[in-house]
Structure 1
Amino acid sequence: MHAIMSKTVGAEPVNSIYQRLPSAIGARIRVVAWLSLLSEIVIVGTGGAVRLTGSGLGCPTWPNCVVGSLVPTEEMGLHGVIEFANRLMTGLIGIIAIAAVVLLWRLRRERKDLFVLAVILVGGVLAQALVGGVTVWTGLNPFIVGFHFTVSLIMVCLATVLVHRVYLAPGPRTLVVPVGFAGLAHATSFVVALTVIMGVLTTASGPHSGDADAGRTGFNAELLEHLHAWPGYATLVLTIVLLAASVGGKLPVRRFVVALLVIELVQILVGLLQANLGLPPVLVGLHMVLACVLAAAMTALVLNLKAPTGITPDDTKVIGTSELSSRRG
């Protein structure tokens, strides 16, 4: 009898917590999704600060900052503080990712797409932490540092997908733009990816290594600057074509194309300034963050090429998920 009562009493708090979790997509889940995206972009900025201030080995070991201490000691100075702050940012992103999984727990069957995305983001945080450890262990190998940044961009894109989907009902999706426009948008996304990859190689070959003793790729940085700029300009031209087609055809994705174009223009301006001013750290860091914003904008445009059957992207701004489901029904 006592055992039965103990189990019953013990189960009540668990059931109470479970009942407090969202049973439908609402404000809490959407806020966490946005926090996930914003934090994934912010950590690129903090990671850039680590690299651009020469603090890449401010904590020379991992997972401890120094041998025998999880946190930086006084001897590590400012570099240790900057590097450790970036590690703390990883912990914050992990907490946000776990919060998304918890909030979606009751919806894990009904909204399997969102739940799987949240779990992938948790796994991505863990993977990024390990890659960060390898980066330290290898003395800031430029190829691993570049891979670390590339994975961060992928995480930004995944978080963008999560934000997008918390505003849409699950189920079949159909194109809301002409097939030719969709093809051009996908081609543009490929050129954006190429631009980013060349940018990563360019940075890995430039002066900002994260530490005075860190190696470089050995590639010709000046040549890579051109190889990075060419697909960047191609992206601009393709986006202008997309804008003309979306405005002329009054397509529902035109606002996403406008946002993409504005980000590209700012990114190109910053790129030209940093190249002509001797790569000042502030501009290089801004260029890195804008690359993430560009990736998110491109992802958002591609995602909005389709909408749940019978629903346009404009509809999702004024109606909720439950109403979308009823319309689809």
Structure 2
Amino acid sequence: MDFLTPAPADSEPGGLFGTRRALRGWSIANLVANCGIIVTGAVVRLTGSGLGCDTWPKCSADTYTAHPALGWHSYVEFGNRTLTFVLLAIAIATVVTAIRTGAAHRERRLAWLILAGIPFQGVIGGITVLTHLNPWVVALHLLLSVLLIVWCVQLVQWTGDGEQLVIPLVQRRVVQVIFWLMMFAIWLGTVVTGAGPNAGDERVARNGMDIEFVAKAHAWTIWAVVALTVALLVVALKDGNTRLRTLVLWLLAAELVQGAIGYAQYFNGLPMGLVICHMIGIGLVVTAVSWLYHGTRTRLSA
């Protein structure tokens, strides 16, 4: 059978590329992998390995791979680069499965879009190295990962039951504000990082912003998101909407844990362990807010 030939209707449940179950599995793998690359990228930055490979696409002028002569930082940086191929393989598997299972057009389109984002992420990573870890370019590297997570969440939902929760227009507007305010808060978080000490290399210039000011702006934006989330939870409880309540509770839990970690790392001098936990939290928060955003609407489509 040709690799891209649609699978027969009676495909075995355990097939890797021929069932709806497989498509959902690859979609979840896409989500987990794109959350994970944020963490490994943080490890590169926190260990000062951002220029362990000082050029791109090669690791150095003489080799494409890490080398003992380049020091251990080159292995950290090269390892993160290599993970891009893991993400690429998962994204390709998702596209292949979407084609073979005859997935809906919107699912195939989104799978292709996620696949296209992976090499683009690699290109931004290369520009990051070539610009000597310019903090604004580094921020784009993270923000693209956030966008990919948002898309991955939607694909996971579509490959599940795909049923959105219908809520009143006012509640849907609150959900939209929460989502976009969270995206703005994450961008502010990249500005805080660009002003802080963990640059990825001690020779790298920072963005020149006052870290105390941007950190407070980031924190107050998060508090606004938390306040809106609590308000939406109160409404869900009042209406007896258990499904909305569950979605909002998961988001609120992620926000509170992430906020606690954020304050702890700020007041304790940004220890590596807490910063890594904060990076894990980004994936969890984006997943939770995207699940709420994509999982609700004001009316069913015709």
Structures share a fold, TM > 0.5? Answer: yes
Matched, 1:72 2:100: no
TM-score by length of 2: 0.92
Q: CA deviation at 1:295?
A: 1.2
Matched, 1:256 2:247: yes
Q: What secondary structure, in the 3-state scheme, does the structure 2 residue paired with 1:253 have? A: helix
Distance 1:289 1:217 in 2: 24
* Amino acid paired to 1:184: V
Distance 2:160 2:60 in 1: 44
- Aligned counterpart, 1:45: 39
Post-superposition Cα deviations, 1:88-129, rounded to whole Å, max 9, x if no partner, equal 111100000000111111355x51111111111111001100
- Aligned counterpart, 1:187: 177
Distance 2:299 2:286 in 1: 23
* Amino acid paired to 1:211: D
- Kindly report which structure 2 residues correspond to 1:282-301, keeping only aligned pairs within 5 A, or say none: 282-301=273-292
Distance 1:292 1:307 in 2: 27
- Kindly report which structure 2 residues correspond to 1:170-185, keeping only aligned pairs within 5 A, or say none: 176-185=166-175
* Amino acid paired to 2:138: V
Q: CA deviation at 1:307?
A: 9.0
Q: CA deviation at 1:25?
A: 5.4
Post-superposition Cα deviations, 1:287-312, rounded to whole Å, max 9, x if no partner, equal 122122211111100111139949xx
Q: CA deviation at 1:157?
A: 0.6
Structure 2 residue runs without a partner (length 5+): 12-17
Q: CA deviation at 1:17?
A: 6.1
Q: CA deviation at 1:77?
A: 2.2
Let me know the Cα RMSD of the aligned residues.
Answer: 2.1
- Aligned counterpart, 2:156: 163
- Aligned counterpart, 2:296: 305
Post-superposition Cα deviations, 1:56-104, rounded to whole Å, max 9, x if no partner, equal 0111111111223221011122211111111111110000000011111
Matched, 1:200 2:202: no
CA gap of 1:246–1:70, structure 2 versus 1, over 3 A, is: same
Q: What secondary structure, in the 3-state scheme, does the structure 1 residue paired with 2:51 have? A: coil
How many residue pairs get matched? 294
Distance 2:216 2:35 in 1: 26
Distance 2:19 2:73 in 1: 42
CA gap of 1:213–1:80, structure 2 versus 1, over 3 A, is: same
Contact 1:168–1:308 (Cα < 8 Å) also in 2? no
Contact 1:271–1:287 (Cα < 8 Å) also in 2? yes
Q: CA deviation at 1:238?
A: 0.8
Contact 1:54–1:79 (Cα < 8 Å) also in 2? yes
Q: 2:123 aligns with which of 117, 122, 130?
A: 130
Q: 1:219 aligns with which of 209, 217, 220?
A: 209
Distance 2:43 2:8 in 1: 37
Q: CA deviation at 1:213?
A: 0.8
Distance 1:308 1:281 in 2: 45
Contact 2:150–2:290 (Cα < 8 Å) also in 1? yes
- Aligned counterpart, 1:118: 111
* Amino acid paired to 2:89: I
Contact 1:64–1:70 (Cα < 8 Å) also in 2? yes
Distance 2:190 2:282 in 1: 10
Structure 1 residue runs without a partner (length 5+): 1-12, 311-327
Distance 2:4 2:56 in 1: 36
Q: CA deviation at 1:250?
A: 2.0
CA gap of 1:71–1:215, structure 2 versus 1, over 3 A, is: same
- Aligned counterpart, 2:14: none
Q: CA deviation at 1:230?
A: 0.4
* Amino acid paired to 1:129: G
Q: Which moved more, 1:237-246 or 1:24-33?
A: 24-33
Distance 1:45 1:63 in 2: 22
- Aligned counterpart, 1:9: none
Distance 2:70 2:30 in 1: 31
Matched, 1:83 2:77: yes
Q: Which moved more, 1:134-143 or 1:239-248?
A: 239-248
Distance 1:291 1:50 in 2: 17
* Amino acid paired to 1:162: L
CA gap of 1:115–1:211, structure 2 versus 1, over 3 A, is: same
Q: CA deviation at 1:34?
A: 0.3
- Kindly report which structure 2 residues correspond to 1:211-250, keeping only aligned pairs within 5 A, or say none: 211-250=201-240
Which entry has the higher C-alpha Rg, 1 or 2?
Answer: 1
Q: Which moved more, 1:18-27 or 1:60-69?
A: 18-27
- Aligned counterpart, 1:54: 48
Distance 2:134 2:199 in 1: 9
Post-superposition Cα deviations, 1:7-63, rounded to whole Å, max 9, x if no partner, equal xxxxxx42x762547788521111100000000000000000000110001111111
